Structure 1
Amino acid sequence: MEHVLIIHEVEDYEAWKKIFDDAAAIRKHAGELSYQVLKYDNNANKIVHFSKWTSIVKAKTFFESPKLVEIRKQAGVKTPEFVYLELLEAGML
């Protein structure tokens, strides 16, 4: 399983979340399987988007596309940091 961790600050969480939700179909079509949205405990506009993807290549292609660059601008995203991860091990305690 491949994962993507995105950390970014947004101008307004509610505005960002609407655009994020509206993009669900294009994320799914691009290969996103599931996601979690988290916020920093001391900053409601500092968002973490953690998601599972069918492949790192598909995730990079999607997130680096001109269409997504424009969507991020519209959503008020400030300088996102992308971390592409490959699962080595998982467990439950």
Structure 2
Amino acid sequence: MNYVLIIHEVADYSTWKKQFDQAVSIRKEAGEISFQVLQFHHEPNKVVHFSHWEDVEKAKSFFNSPEVKQIRLDAGVKTPEFNYLNLIDSGIL
């Protein structure tokens, strides 16, 4: 399975979330299957976007596209850290 973990600070969470929600259709078209959004406990403008993708290369192309780069600028994203991951184990305890 292919996952993307993005950690970034945003100028304002509600502004970022609005842009994030508006991009749902293009994320789905690009191959995003599911996602989770998390905030750092004491830093509400530090956001984690964890998502499952059909293909890591599709995800990389999507996140590097000029359209998505502009969406990040409009959303107030500060220096995102992208991590492309493969699942090697999981479980429910």
1:39 alignment counterpart? 39
Tell me the distance in 1 between the aligned counterparts of 2:42 and 2:74: 24
1:2 alignment counterpart? 2
Following TM superposition, the consecutive aligned residue runs of length 4 or more in structure 1 with deviations greater than 4 angstroms are: none
1:81 alignment counterpart? 81
TM-score by length of 1: 0.98
- Structure 2, unmatched stretches of 5+, are none
- Structure 1, unmatched stretches of 5+, are none
| Structure 1 residues 1-93: aligned runs within 5 Å | 1-93=1-93
CA RMSD of aligned residues (A): 0.5
Count of residue pairs brought into register by the alignment? 93
Q: Percent identity?
A: 59
TM-score by length of 2: 0.98
The SS at the match of 1:19 is helix
